[in-house]
Chain A
Amino acid sequence: EAQVTQNPRYLITVTGKKLTVTCSQNMNHEYMSWYRQDPGLGLRQIYYSMNVEVTDKGDVPEGYKVSRKEKRNFPLILESPSPNQTSLYFCASSLSGRNNYGYTFGSGTRLTVV
């Protein structure tokens, strides 16, 4: 089944403790992206990647890191999480970032930072 898989689904952590949220897609998509969803704000883009080793900032990149060493994986790293990063996170992929194809989203990771 074609899908985007995120792990974990739920995560509670403490301020300052580094964490990684994994994202993997099995559709050979070139484009991958991370979004955070907050009530009333919709989905805001954190980082995106047009292809392996090519990443760029979205609208809200502060406090986050990403890497794209393999085409299928696009992990989101929070080096020192803070409570304002408590949110619902989605990874998405698309066939190509050069044309307007629909995004396939993962099921989300609900992160709580205390």
Chain B
Amino acid sequence: QQQVKQSPQSLIVQKGGISIINCAYENTAFDYFPWYQQFPGKGPALLIAIRPDVSEKKEGRFTISFNKSAKQFSLHIMDSQPGDSATYFCAASRNAGNMLTFGGGTRLMVKP
């Protein structure tokens, strides 16, 4: 049973469009929600993270939206570029971060 459910599994977006990836979690003890980006042949790399005391965090073209009551959070990639094509993982942790639980991943393809 996955504690963090991610959708969609794959996503195709035109260059310049908005990519949206959604995640939902069960455990209300989660208190840290990072997103990781993984290129083929590489390990995941931290992209952006949010804590539940804020509803939105923006870093450049990447924005996390967080809805605590719905237990959902999402990643928005504005002005998507072909270089954004990668697999994206949402994650959540509790108890000071020693157990990071990942979603199933979303393979994003941005078409030129």
B60 at the interface (CB under 8 A from A): no
Task: Kindly identify, within residues 3 to 53 of chain A, every residue whose CB is under 8 Å from any CB belonging to chain B.
Answer: 4, 31, 33, 35, 40-45, 48, 50
* A58 to B99 Cα, complex, angstroms: 7
Please give, as numbers and ranges, the residues of chain B lying within 8 Å of A58 by CB-CB distance: 99
For chain A, the bracket of interface size reads 20 to 34
Contact status of A99 and B96, CB under 8 A, knowing A42-B6, A105-B44? yes
* Interface residue ranges, B against A (CB under 8 Å): 2, 4, 6, 9, 31-32, 34, 36, 41-46, 49, 51, 89, 93, 96-105
* A99 to B80 Cα, complex, angstroms: 32
* Interface residue ranges, A against B (CB under 8 Å): 4, 31, 33, 35, 40-45, 48, 50, 56, 58-59, 90, 92, 94, 97-103, 105-108
A101: nearest chain-B partner, CB-CB: B97
Contact status of A105 and B45, CB under 8 A, knowing A40-B104, A42-B104, A100-B93? yes
* A96 to B31 Cα, complex, angstroms: 16
Instruction: List the count of A-B residue pairs having beta carbons below 8 Å apart.
Output: 69
Please give, as numbers and ranges, the residues of chain A lying within 8 Å of B4 by CB-CB distance: 42
* A23 to B99 Cα, complex, angstroms: 19
| Distance from A21 Cβ to chain B, minimum over Cβ atoms (Å) | 14
Please give, as numbers and ranges, the residues of chain A lying within 8 Å of B105 by CB-CB distance: 40, 42
* A98 to B98 Cα, complex, angstroms: 7
Q: Are B43 and A105 in contact (CB under 8 A)?
A: yes
> Can you list 26 residue pairs at the A/B interface with Cβ under 8 Å?
A31-B98, A40-B104, A40-B105, A42-B102, A42-B103, A42-B105, A43-B102, A58-B99, A59-B101, A90-B44, A92-B43, A97-B97, A97-B98, A98-B97, A98-B98, A100-B31, A100-B32, A100-B51, A100-B93, A101-B97, A103-B36, A103-B46, A103-B100, A107-B41, A108-B42, A108-B43
